Amino acid sequence: MNETTNELIKRLHRAKLVPAVISIAFGIALIIARQSAMEVIVKIAAAMLIACGVGCVLVYLFGPVKDSSQFVVGGFAALIGFLAWFNSGFVVGLFPIITGIVLLMNGLSNLATLSAPGFYPNRGLIVVFSVLMIAAGILILIHPAAIEGALMVVIGISYLVSGIFDLILLYQAKNILMS
């Protein structure tokens, strides 16, 4: 095995191993402790917003260029971050509602796309999936609390599967490069 192959394997490990392990751990956390895991994610995002907002304000105050939009965006980001930090349960409760709205809008836009002129060879399939998305969106919007647990489990499973597949691909790539 030559030096470039070794370096390629090392770069592959650095790029894939840690994210795969984090993805698996995150998936397990979402499956086991849905509410707590989501609140931690919201707090991390809130801390990032606060840091970004404070950074923007500091750059505005002490930087060479005085761009007022930077001050406004920074202040707004910090404010949203503080609100999310202290109301993480509320923010977590918004996820199913946002998911319902996204599904509803996506289904409606898919149906609207079919009304445009053009050839759609799978028109029936598009209609079926669009109607299913609309129905799922409406169901989630009607019963967001009931769907929240299932949504977190599905997201957790997808992270878990993604991490496992990344590890399998990493192992296979290493074997291919070593042969």
pLDDT digits (tens, 9 = 90+) for 122-174: 778 888 888 999 998 898 889 887 777 787 788 889 889 988 988 888 887 77
Separation between Cα atoms, residue 119 and residue 1, nearest integer Å: 53
pLDDT digits (tens, 9 = 90+) for 38-90: 888 889 999 999 999 999 999 989 888 788 888 899 999 999 999 999 998 88
- pTM metric for this prediction: 0.58
- Asked if residue 110 has pLDDT above 60, the reply is yes
Helix, strand, coil abundance in the chain, percent, nearest 5? 90, 0, 10
- pLDDT-derived band at 9 (thresholds 50, 70, 90) equals confident
Domain hosting 60: range is: 3-178
Is 16:166 a contact under the CB 8 Å cutoff? yes
| Number of independent structural domains in the chain | 1
**How confident is the model at residue 120, as a pLDDT?**
65
Is 101:137 a contact under the CB 8 Å cutoff? yes
